[in-house]
Amino acid sequence: MTDAVTRAAEVLKEHRASIDRLDAILVYTLGERFKHTQAVGKLKAEHDLPPSDPAREAAQIRRLEDLAKEADLDPEFAKKFLNFIIAEVIRHHQQHQS
């Protein structure tokens, strides 16, 4: 291998190691987030509150879009990602209501 190819392989390895660490952070962060949303779902079920809060969800989406812009992340991607998470949270909350 040439020096350029060897260096490129090293840089690729470093990027992949960073990506792996960030993936772990994402998974653990989502796990922590869902612990809290599960607690919210139980609280809502105990007090006969609706499983979804459209006003809060809309505010959270706007907030995340702003954060995405600040982080140089596609706001549409961030919105889709949060909508996916919200749908899963609502599903969990509905299960607590059953």
Q: What is the pLDDT of residues 57-69, one digit of tens each?
A: 999 999 999 999 9
pTM of whole model > 0.85? no
Tokens standing for residue 79: 């919105």
User: Dmax over Cα atoms in the chain, in whole Å?
Assistant: 67
Contact 55, 13 (CB under 8 A): no
Q: Pick from 77, 72, 85: which is nearest to 34 by CA?
A: 85
Angle at 62 between CA 71 and CA 87, to 5 degrees: 100
Query: Tens digits of per-residue pLDDT, 33-78?
Result: 999 999 999 999 999 999 889 999 999 999 999 999 999 999 999 9
Report percent pLDDT > 90 for the chain: 79
